[in-house]
Amino acid sequence: MKQTAPIDYLLSNAAITEQIAKTYPSLSSAHRKAADYVLANPFRAATMTIDELAQAVGMSVATANRFSRTLGFDGYPQFRAELVRAFESALAPVEKLRSELEREATSAEIFTASLEEDLDNIHGTKRQLSEAACEKAVDMILAAPRVFILGFSTSAYLGSIMAHRLDPYCPIVQTIANDAGPSQAARRLFKLKRDDLVIVISFPRYSKFTVELLGLAREQQATVLAITDSSTSPLVPMADLVLYAKSERRLSATSEAAALSLIEALCGAVVHRAKNSLRTA
- Render pLDDT for 33-56 as a digit per residue (tens, 0 to 9): 998 888 877 778 887 889 999 999
Sign (positive or negative) of CA dihedral 156, 161, 164, 166 = negative
pLDDT of 163 > 90? The answer is yes
pLDDT band at 259 (very low <50, low <70, confident <90, very high): very high
Helix (H) / strand (E) element for 9: namely helix 6-12
**What is the percentage of the chain residues whose pLDDT exceeds 70?**
83
Contacts with 196 (C-beta within 8 Å, 6 or more apart), sequence order: 144, 145, 146, 147, 148, 220, 222, 223
Contacts with 155 (C-beta within 8 Å, 6 or more apart), sequence order: 177, 201, 202, 203, 207, 210
pLDDT, position 1 = 38
Residue intervals of the chain classified under CATH 1.10.10.10 are: 6-86
Average confidence (pLDDT) over 80-105: 65
- Domain 112-280 sits in which CATH superfamily? Glucose-6-phosphate isomerase like protein; domain 1 (3.40.50.10490)
Residue intervals of the chain classified under CATH 3.40.50.10490 are: 112-280
Residue of higher predicted confidence among 183 and 268: 268
Picking from 279, 255, 259, the residue whose alpha carbon sits closest to that of residue 267 is 259
Instruction: Note if the pTM is more than 0.85.
Output: no
Q: Class of 6-86 per CATH?
A: mainly alpha
